[in-house]
Amino acid sequence: MRILISGGSVAGPALAYWLHRHGHRPTIVERAPVVRGGGAAIDFRGSALQVLEWMGLLEEMRGHETGMTAMTLVDDAGATIATLPATAISGDLEVLKSDVTAILYEATRDTTEYLFDDTITALDQDGSGVHVTFERSRPRTFDLVIGADGLHSTVRRLAFGPESQYVRHLGIYGALCTTPNILGLDRAGLMYNTAGRNALAFAARDNAELRVGLSFGADHLDYDRRDRRQQEELVAKHFAGAGWEVPRLLEAMREAEEFFFDSSGQVVMDSWSTGRVALVGDAAHCAAPTSGRGTSQALIGAYVLAGELAEAPDHTTAFAAYERQLRDYVERNQRHGRTAARWFLQPPTEPPVEVAEDVVALKQYA
């Protein structure tokens, strides 16, 4: 089948890899002009490692492991309050997102058609396929369209309805940026929590850089997602008067080349498919960054979806089987994301370290 995937981050290329393995012809449309760089470190847990091994990418990912040690929770003066073990923060394997996306792109570039600097503007499906209109490319028809385009999915909006129907805001907004290692951290991280505010910094790139996160609690904010300066001002306003190294981190944020700002939310849907259109990864069931499970869900979901499309007699049967396999796993992860979000807003002295089941039974597809 000719299958269009919207989104070239993690779920999209992973799905393209498996679709090609099963004999399909994948195309990825990605809004960014090139493979996306930047981003935080992301972790793989439980069954996701098995998927990486089946892809032949586990050792390559391990070669880019951050090597992070513990995360230390500090007070206003920088004194230690508690220490979180590496596995609680970094999972079973932690890799910078920019490295993950680059590895997945290299694994799929020769077998997948990539349409960079473009996006879907309209979907019209009938018995013959899905007729797709793009912002830049000529209109085309595909057998299936899969949305792997994240929390603010274009495919979900076009095929299922407005984002407000499915995204549940968890009361947290946050900025992520990359700065020089001004704190002198050695493969370690520091976290500062006060009620309604959370600042963290961890070393990356052999201690040459810091990945900095600045999160705060707020109801729905009205801001321009394209206006970085406005977003910086929101962060600075909510962190006014904060202790520890927050003033230095705010100054570094303003000078950082890489900057990202968004709300923390979850996607809750009764069904992840409609007709010939389906969703995977955060577009279907985002568990929020606080869950630490988003990358694993994306990788596992892509594997299962492609496998069911290979085995089932039609896409309707495949989509239903894909959802049956993953629904309980996703709901567990979303519960964990909500629990962690509450701690971010009202932290106790000791942060909760929930021991959650990270394994979902995966069958091997022919």
Q: At what angle do helices 11-21 and 294-311 cross, to 10 degrees?
A: 30
**Residue 90 in this model has a pLDDT that exceeds 70:** no
**Residue 28 in this model has a pLDDT that exceeds 80:** yes
C-alpha–C-alpha distance, residues 191 and 198, integer Å: 7
Is 41 domain-assigned? yes
Residue 24, domain extent: 2-65+96-167+266-345
Share the mean pLDDT of the chain.
91
Query: How many distinct structural domains can be found in the chain?
Result: 1
Is 320 domain-assigned? yes
Is-contact 64 106, C-beta < 8 A?
A: no
Q: Residue 237 has what pLDDT?
A: 95
Is 173 domain-assigned? no
Q: What is the pLDDT of residues 151-163, one digit of tens each?
A: 999 999 999 999 9
C-alpha–C-alpha distance, residues 97 and 300, integer Å: 17
* Residue among 86, 122, 78, 27 nearest 245 (CA): 78
Is 179 domain-assigned? no
Q: What is the pLDDT of residues 38-64, one digit of tens each?
A: 777 888 888 999 999 999 999 999 999
Mean pLDDT of 201-211: 89
Identify the three-state secondary structure at position 332: helix
Is 156 domain-assigned? yes
Residue 193 main-chain phi, psi, to 5 deg: -125, 130
Looking up tokens 């879907």 gives 120
Q: What is the pLDDT of residues 228-287, one digit of tens each?
A: 999 999 999 999 999 999 999 999 999 998 899 999 999 999 999 999 999 999 999 999
Q: Residue 128 has what pLDDT?
A: 92
Is-contact 333 297, C-beta < 8 A?
A: yes
**Residue 137 in this model has a pLDDT that exceeds 70:** yes
Looking up tokens 């849907």 gives 269
Q: Is 206 exposed, middle or buried (0-12, 13-18, 19+ CB in 10 A)?
A: exposed
* Residue among 22, 58, 109, 67 nearest 302 (CA): 22
Residues 54-81, buried b or exposed e (16+ Cβ, 10 A)? ebebbeebeebebebbbbbbbeeeeeee
For residue 51, the domain's CATH number is 3.50.50.60
- C-alpha 16: how far from chain center: 17
CA distances, 13 to each of 18, 103, 198, 297, 330 (Å):
9, 10, 32, 14, 20
**Residue 356 in this model has a pLDDT that exceeds 60:** no
CA distances, 124 to each of 67, 140, 142, 210, 274 (Å):
47, 11, 10, 45, 12
Is-contact 173 218, C-beta < 8 A?
A: yes
Lowest-confidence pick of 47-51, 178-182, 205-209, 214-218: 205-209
Identity at 233, one-letter amino acid code? E
Is-contact 269 263, C-beta < 8 A?
A: no
Looking up tokens 């970085």 gives 228
Is 355 domain-assigned? no
CA distances, 352 to each of 82, 185, 215, 275 (Å):
11, 24, 18, 41
C-alpha–C-alpha distance, residues 283 and 286, integer Å: 6
Is-contact 44 52, C-beta < 8 A?
A: yes
Q: What is the pLDDT of residues 284-304, one digit of tens each?
A: 999 998 888 889 999 999 999
Is 282 domain-assigned? yes
Instruction: Say how many C-beta atoms besides its own lie within 10 A of residue 271's C-beta.
Output: 12
Is 360 domain-assigned? no
